[in-house]
Amino acid sequence: MTRQPPPTSFLARIRSGIRHFAGSLLITLRILTYNKVGFAGFLMVLTILLVSYIGPRYVPLDTQTKIDQIYQPPSREFWLGTDHQGRDIFSQVVNGGREVIQVALIAAVLSTSLAVTFGTLAGFAGGAVDGGIMTVTDIVLTIPQFPLLAVLAALIQFDSLLFLGILLGLLSWPALLRAVRAQALSLKERDFVEAARSLGLGTWYIVFREIVPNMMAYIIISFTLALTGAIYQQVGLVLLGLVPISGSNWGVMINLAWIRGAIFFEDSVWYIMSPVVAIALFQLSVVTMGRSLELVFNPRLRTEL
C-alpha cells in the first residue's frame, strides 16, 4: 500500500502564494523598466500618490490666516510661497491631490468597465444585441458632456466625491465603447475564438476569458486617457463654481486664485501655477506610464526591444 503525501499546510500555501506574487511583481517591474520614459512616468505617478495620500500626515493643511504674509515668494518657511490669506501653498498642494485623484479613478474605472463590457458584447454577439447597444451609445455620444454637467450642477448638489465620480463615469464611456467594439469585431474572427465556440463555451466566458485579455494593452491606454479626461472635467466644474467648494484640492486652489484676483498681484504666480503644474505633471506621468504598461500587457512589443 503506497503512502499518501502529507497534505499541504495552510501556512505553506500562503508562503507559496506570497512567493508567486513577489516573483510576478518583480517580473512586472523589470518589464516596466524596458521603456525608460514610461518607467519615469510610473515612478512619478507613484510619488504623487504617496505625497497625496501619505503626505498630509506629515504636512498638515495650513488654515491660519496671516495678513502680513500675503503672496509671499518661495522661502525656507514657505516652499511655494503663500496665497491671498498668507497660507502656505505647499501644504495646499500636498493636501489637494487626494480628492482629484479619487474622483478621476472612480470615473475612469466605471467608464472603462462599461465600455469594455458592453463594447465587447456588442462586437461578439452582433445582431439585435449589437444594434441595441450601439443605438444607446450613439444617443449618449451626441450629448455634449460638459454643458450637460453644467446643467445638472444647477439641479443636483455635487456634494459627494463618489457621486461626482459616478456621474462623470456614466457620461464618458461611449467613445471608448465604439473603439472596443471595433477591436472585438476583429478578434472574434480569430482561431482561438472559433475554437472556444466549437467547445461550446458560453458567451460571457469567451468575452472575458478570450477576447478581453487580448485587448488589455488597448484598454490600459484608454483607461489612462479616461483618467486624464475626468481630471479636466472635475477641475473645470470646480473652476467655474459649479461644484460646491469644500475642503481643499487643486481645482479649489485654481478657483480661489481666480475669484480672489490673484492674477493682478505680482507675486501671485506661484499660487496660480502650483496647482496647474501639479495637475499637468500628474496627467503627463499617467500618459507616459502607459508606454510601460503596454509592454506588460502586450508581449509582442517586448520582442522589438
Which domains, from first to last, does the chain contain? Answer: 97-305 (1.10.3720.10)
Q: C-alpha 99: how far from its chain's center? A: 12
Is residue 302 scored above 70 in pLDDT?
A: no
Interval 95-104 mean pLDDT: 89
Of 33-37, 172-176, 197-201, 222-226, the range with the lowest mean pLDDT is: 197-201
pLDDT tens sequence across 247-287: 678 888 888 877 777 777 777 788 888 888 999 999 999 98
The pLDDT value recorded for residue 106 is: 92
Is residue 50 scored above 90 in pLDDT?
A: yes
- The three cell numbers locating residue 240: 467655474
The pLDDT value recorded for residue 2 is: 52
Query: Nearest to residue 166, comparing CAs of 116, 212, 119, 114?
Result: 114
The confidence band for 245, taking pLDDT boundaries of 50, 70 and 90, is low
**For the chain, percent of residues with pLDDT exceeding 70:** 92
The pLDDT value recorded for residue 4 is: 53
Is residue 3 scored above 60 in pLDDT?
A: no
The pLDDT value recorded for residue 34 is: 83
Q: How many helices and strands in the chain, by DSSP H and E?
A: 15, 0
For residue 242, the tally of other CB atoms under 10 A from its CB is 16
What is the chain's percent helix, strand, coil content, to nearest 5?
75, 0, 25
Q: Return the higher-pLDDT residue of 168 and 260.
A: 168
Q: Please give the C-alpha separations between residue 126 and each of 119, 173, 182, 207, 254, in angstroms, as whole numbers.
A: 11, 19, 12, 13, 47
For residue 258, the tally of other CB atoms under 10 A from its CB is 14
Q: C-alpha 227: how far from its chain's center? A: 3
The pLDDT value recorded for residue 43 is: 92
The pLDDT value recorded for residue 75 is: 85
The number of CA neighbours under 13 Å toward the Cβ of 244 is 11
Give dist(CA 158, CA 140) in Å, integer: 21
| Close Cβ partners of 107 (under 8 Å, ≥ 6 residues apart) | 165, 166, 168, 169, 172, 226, 227, 230, 233, 234
The confidence band for 244, taking pLDDT boundaries of 50, 70 and 90, is low
- The three cell numbers locating residue 211: 477576447
Interval 210-227 mean pLDDT: 84
The pLDDT value recorded for residue 5 is: 52
- DSSP string computed for 72-115: PPP-SS-TT-B-TTS-BHHHHHHHSHHHHHHHHHHHHHHHHHHH
Give dist(CA 287, CA 226) in Å, integer: 10
The pLDDT value recorded for residue 233 is: 85
The confidence band for 15, taking pLDDT boundaries of 50, 70 and 90, is confident
Is residue 116 scored above 60 in pLDDT?
A: yes
The confidence band for 89, taking pLDDT boundaries of 50, 70 and 90, is confident
Q: Looking at the chain, how many residues does it have?
A: 305
The confidence band for 7, taking pLDDT boundaries of 50, 70 and 90, is low
What's this model's pTM, rounded to 2 decimal places?
A: 0.82
pLDDT tens sequence across 24-43: 778 777 878 888 888 899 99
The confidence band for 44, taking pLDDT boundaries of 50, 70 and 90, is very high
Interval 155-166 mean pLDDT: 77
